[in-house]
Structure 1
Amino acid sequence: MNKWMYPLLVAVLIVFISGCSSKANKDTKSKDEKKALVIAYDRDAETLNHIKTSDYHNALTYIFDKLVSRDNDFNFHPGLAEKWETSEDGLKWTFYLKKNVTFHDGSKLTAHDVKWTIDTIKDPETASPAQSEFEPIKEIVVEDDHTLSILLDKPYPNLLFRLSSTAAGIISKDAYEKCGDEYGSKYAIGTGPYKLKEWIKGDKIVLEKNPDYEWGPEWMENNGKPLIGEIVMKMIPEENLRMMELEAGNVHIVRDLTPTMMGSIEKNADIEIFTGGAPRLGYLAFPTDKEPFNDVKVRRALNHAINKKEIIDHVFRGHAEVAHGYLPPILKEEYYEGSEKDGYEYNVEKAKQLLKEAGYGDGLTLNLAAENASNYGRLAEVLQAQLLEVGIKTDIQLYESSSYTDMLKEGKQELFLRMYGWQNADILDWFLSSKQFPFPNHSRWQDQKTDDLIQAAEQVPTWEERVKGYHEVQKYLIEQAVWVPIYIPSNSIAVRKEVQNFKFDPIAPDYNDGVYME
């Protein structure tokens, strides 16, 4: 994850009116367009070319539309595709595009742009981080300008999720080729409700509303036609400064609040805190291919040793939930309901007994690694005390984000803390299948049964069968104690009263869903 010092020497990148720029807005500025929504972020984007990155900045959500849209409850709806059909064998999906959709440069969206976008991601020479996500697609056939068929070798019921993800934002082929290396920094041209106005690296990303936007999803208010004239995504790395700017009214929204941040503003009448579930999960992990972690008894002992309720109360001040399994419950269908029943209760004596049976009755001395952030540091300290109660001594090692990732890639980890955020069960494939070894499979879990269960779940004909398959995956991972699931953090957002009709979303709020400035 890239971190930016603040402030940095910046280069102003302004979108000029050219063949590679957004179409000029010739309409007279309305009252709404004069009001900017300012959102504070702790870090900058890596790039606004989502083909080239897996670090998807929120700006991409508003610049690029997808074939399929998802509502706040993760249900699928038409996006750029007004409808789709699936063959009986599940190997052919036909999508019918909405007509009269235009890119920000004024060119018309066609099925050729959709095919080019996905084919480019799939091309090994592109080296897109999202390549594997579209691997099940055998071929895309353009039937006509507004119809395309996606052909598969095997049934893939997760296709709609892939086509609704940020990685699948549809790009203008002509604009991408014309802009060359400047695409993603100076230019980013989609069909979304907002256009890139400027990106001052290390400072802010400014988006302006797309006045031509008439093709938003039906589940949004007014079909997603934006009311806010500009969105300013301001980079403010310092937590205290973000809160000061919020209280002063210079910033309207601060996301990902920590318990400390929430405590500083919860009595401010000008600010409302929205809190809800999030598709995130925090856990303790270890290299399962190395001693002592290659012994399931040691892994189970670690699970019994952790008092999760104490962590929720003292580290997160109640702003989190206990995690029992490997997916967060907000993924309603895919979450395995038997996670708590099959999981591990806090039991010091049972943990000690399992360590003794594994040959470590005299205890262990291990390193405990975490990123150098406030919550991770406090969590590591609490875990250190809890593990000591069962005879495991730990030395805490804190890392900056980039060096932490390097350490995991090099296989130097023992005990380490991680958190993921994702809206689909395939995150288990990403972190725990053998094909992802040694990274992002940082637990170094290479297990044939896990691979077989995941592959079976991914290749069944229907979504319902896929859900059942992933329930089996989770049940088996709990049995094998591959991780110690600890907490599911609350997703909290601070919103100033000037922002009206705000709707909480567990991933990224849709500021074009009827939101306006007072």
Structure 2
Amino acid sequence: MRYSTKTQLLTGSAIVAAGFLFSTNAVAQDVTIAFSASELGATAYNPVAASNLNTATSLIYDRLVEQDADQSFHPHLATEWEETPDGMAWTFTLLEGVTFHDDTPFNAAAVQSWIASYAGTENEYLVEAIGSVDVIDDLTVRFNMDRPEPNLLYNLASAFMGVPSPTAYAELGEDFGVTAAVGTGPYEMQTFEIGLETVLVRNEDYTWGSDLSENRGPGYIETFTFREIPDQSTAFLELRTGGIDLLLGVPTDFLAILEAEANIQVIQMPGTGISYMPINVTAPPFDDILVRQATTMAIDQDSIVAAVYGGVGAPARNFLISSLPEADVDPSLNVKYDPDRAGALLDEAGWVMGDDGVRMRNGERLSVNLFTANSTEFTRLTQVVQAQLAEIGMEATITVFDSSTIRDEYRRNAHQLAVRAYDWNNSDILDWFFSGNRLGYPNVSMWEDEEGQRLNDVAMTESATAAERIANFTAYHEYILRQHLFVPIYQPTQNIAFNAEAISVPDPVRGSRFRGQTFMDIQVVE
């Protein structure tokens, strides 16, 4: 069997040298990419068990179905599917002739084993409606449902439902996705240096790309090197000077500069997430709902969009991207800047403004910690948030962590406030960040509430149709908003930039995100 194994850690200078080698070796069909800030810190390429994945994952693993930019679903490893009228069974016909990177076959038995592997993981919710899986024949599989799941196709198209080799998954155990990541995708993992870079090499046998790509395989590019560059100014400079060929996630304040660069092209796509500030409800003073409500009114989303993001993107008013129907909540629940009301709420809570501009109660200053990740965009946004909190008399001290460490701090319940972002275009993100079953991380708000969990479970498990699901998630979303668990800040666009003298990128980009289907059509400019 062919397993790509992890190499020893490179020195910093060797990594930099390697990056420049890949980016300048156009004849060898090698391309170097920098991850966006929101994708930094993945610790494994294990779609079944990981809580954080990145774009490279979509090149290692294929999915049964793919989602296009218009939200429609397209065949991939499944060529067709049929749902029974009562929603209690789904039958999938599988693509013939597909093999995993370890030369084992993709078939109905592999799908059966793959679905079973989610048991006991954080991602089990994606398949929990599936009661059992029947192998009808080698290329036909039936999901017998415990309940209808109107969100099933979306789940199957997500990055967390890439199909791994059952053989490799069983043999490697906890090392799967670290020492080797074995899927059916167009690229194989050659090396993975956590927090540094991932190198993928072309799967020469690949001929089964989805119809979201013009090229069905093999890929045009021999090697993709994905680098983690926490400082976005550095990543931006490397794009301009040839150190990288493509930058996933361009800060908006760099867009005008890039537009002046003759060799740089920018692709702008609708955003699929928001930036927000979770509030730890177990950490005083935020165990007081009045303080939480005041905090939500302290942040001026409109000025942040204008000043920090140059007017690109939109203010976030609740926890979901505005294109989702579940974001259409009671208008009175949408979060808006109101510093006068924030001040009145803090007065009501007993926090009196001090002579130095910091509020006091019973001799205690209203001083809090404010966590953020070490990327240029997050630190800049967090500094603005700090200044706006100061306007209502809240003194916030910023602590910057790398992307992996900050999740450990959340799990330790060491935080009060944080500035972070998510990338997900489905309402089940509410379950991910607010279910009482996920305290610490991803439930950074540390919120555990009986009625909230009931609404969560109804939305996740008792929706028989798409319309019921929308209604149930809207009700859950509105209840969350009434608890003041977070401050929505910004709804970004997806900004991707590339060196047009080095590579060509398809236009338009298919899919809701810049993922594997687009990389299949990238070519080196000779």
Q: TM-score range by the shorter chain?
A: 0.7 to 0.9
Which piece of structure 1 moves more, 261-270 or 426-435? Answer: 261-270
Aligned to 2:336, the other structure's residue is in SS state: coil
Amino acid aligned to 1:475: E
> Relative to structure 1, is the Cα distance of residues 487 and 450 closer, same or farther in structure 2, using a 3 angstrom cutoff?
same
> Relative to structure 1, is the Cα distance of residues 204 and 373 closer, same or farther in structure 2, using a 3 angstrom cutoff?
closer
Contact 1:369–1:396 (8 Å) recurs in 2:
yes
Cα distance between partner residues in 2 of 1:204 and 1:377: 22
Alignment of structure 1 residues 104-143 onto 2, 5 Å: 104-122=101-119, 124=120, 128-143=121-136
Aligned to 1:57, the other structure's residue is in SS state: coil
> Relative to structure 1, is the Cα distance of residues 309 and 368 closer, same or farther in structure 2, using a 3 angstrom cutoff?
farther
Which piece of structure 1 moves more, 148-157 or 203-212? Answer: 203-212
Which of 496, 500, 504 is 1:500 aligned to?
Answer: 504
Q: Deviations over 1:334-356 (max 9, x none)?
A: 44224655323322222222223
Paired position in structure 2 for 1:346:
337
Is 1:426 the counterpart of 2:419? The answer is no
Paired position in structure 2 for 1:14:
none
Q: Deviations over 1:9-45 (max 9, x none)?
A: 88xxxxxxxxxxxxxxxxxxxxx99422221247575
Q: Deviations over 1:389-422 (max 9, x none)?
A: 3333333333444443333222232233222222
Contact 1:299–1:481 (8 Å) recurs in 2:
yes
Cα distance between partner residues in 1 of 2:227 and 2:260: 24
Paired position in structure 2 for 1:161:
154
Which of 391, 394, 397 is 2:396 aligned to?
Answer: 394
> Relative to structure 1, is the Cα distance of residues 198 and 433 closer, same or farther in structure 2, using a 3 angstrom cutoff?
closer
TM-score by length of 1: 0.84
Is 1:257 the counterpart of 2:254? The answer is no
> Relative to structure 1, is the Cα distance of residues 450 and 261 closer, same or farther in structure 2, using a 3 angstrom cutoff?
same
Contact 1:39–1:253 (8 Å) recurs in 2:
yes
Aligned residues, how many? 488
Amino acid aligned to 1:98: L
Paired position in structure 2 for 1:337:
328
Cα distance between partner residues in 2 of 1:183 and 1:342: 43
Q: Deviations over 1:479-506 (max 9, x none)?
A: 3322111112332111111322434465
Cα distance between partner residues in 1 of 2:105 and 2:27: 25
Which piece of structure 1 moves more, 273-282 or 234-243? Answer: 234-243
Alignment of structure 1 residues 181-220 onto 2, 5 Å: 183-185=176-178, 187-199=180-192, 204-220=197-213
Amino acid aligned to 1:472: A
Amino acid aligned to 1:453: L
Amino acid aligned to 1:62: L
Contact 2:326–2:474 (8 Å) recurs in 1:
yes
Cα distance between partner residues in 2 of 1:357 and 1:474: 27
> Relative to structure 1, is the Cα distance of residues 511 and 389 closer, same or farther in structure 2, using a 3 angstrom cutoff?
closer
Alignment of structure 1 residues 115-514 onto 2, 5 Å: 115-122=112-119, 124=120, 128-177=121-170, 183-185=176-178, 187-199=180-192, 204-223=197-216, 226-237=219-230, 239-259=232-252, 261-262=254-255, 264-329=257-322, 332-338=323-329, 342-362=333-353, 363-364=359-360, 365-371=366-372, 372-458=374-460, 459-497=462-500, 498-502=502-506, 503-504=508-509, 507-509=513-515, 510-514=517-521
Is 1:35 the counterpart of 2:35? The answer is no
Aligned to 2:142, the other structure's residue is in SS state: strand
> Relative to structure 1, is the Cα distance of residues 321 and 198 closer, same or farther in structure 2, using a 3 angstrom cutoff?
same
Amino acid aligned to 1:481: H
Q: Deviations over 1:46-84 (max 9, x none)?
A: 333434533323222112111121123333222211111
Which piece of structure 1 moves more, 77-86 or 359-368? Answer: 359-368
Aligned to 1:350, the other structure's residue is in SS state: helix
Q: Deviations over 1:117-162 (max 9, x none)?
A: 221232x4xxx44234333322211111111111222222222222
Amino acid aligned to 1:137: I
Which piece of structure 1 moves more, 59-68 or 176-185? Answer: 176-185
Which of 76, 86, 111 is 2:83 aligned to?
Answer: 86
Contact 1:224–1:512 (8 Å) recurs in 2:
no
Cα distance between partner residues in 1 of 2:416 and 2:408: 14
Paired position in structure 1 for 2:64:
67
Contact 2:326–2:471 (8 Å) recurs in 1:
no
Amino acid aligned to 1:490: T
Cα distance between partner residues in 2 of 1:137 and 1:252: 42
- Structure 1's unaligned 5+ residue stretches are 11-31
Amino acid aligned to 1:301: A
Cα distance between partner residues in 2 of 1:182 and 1:285: 32
Paired position in structure 2 for 1:19:
none
Cα distance between partner residues in 2 of 1:342 and 1:180: 45
Aligned to 2:154, the other structure's residue is in SS state: helix
Paired position in structure 2 for 1:26:
none
Contact 2:148–2:464 (8 Å) recurs in 1:
yes
Cα distance between partner residues in 2 of 1:201 and 1:484: 31
> Relative to structure 1, is the Cα distance of residues 238 and 407 closer, same or farther in structure 2, using a 3 angstrom cutoff?
closer
Cα distance between partner residues in 2 of 1:156 and 1:171: 23
Contact 2:233–2:376 (8 Å) recurs in 1:
no
Aligned to 1:395, the other structure's residue is in SS state: strand
Cα distance between partner residues in 2 of 1:344 and 1:132: 29
Amino acid aligned to 2:392: V
Paired position in structure 1 for 2:356:
none
Amino acid aligned to 1:336: A
Contact 1:352–1:361 (8 Å) recurs in 2:
no
Aligned to 1:421, the other structure's residue is in SS state: coil
Cα distance between partner residues in 2 of 1:285 and 1:44: 19
> Relative to structure 1, is the Cα distance of residues 138 and 9 closer, same or farther in structure 2, using a 3 angstrom cutoff?
farther
Cα distance between partner residues in 2 of 1:396 and 1:134: 39
Amino acid aligned to 2:68: D
Cα distance between partner residues in 2 of 1:182 and 1:434: 29
- Structure 2's unaligned 5+ residue stretches are 1-8, 16-25, 354-358, 361-365
Aligned to 2:418, the other structure's residue is in SS state: strand
> Relative to structure 1, is the Cα distance of residues 432 and 251 closer, same or farther in structure 2, using a 3 angstrom cutoff?
same
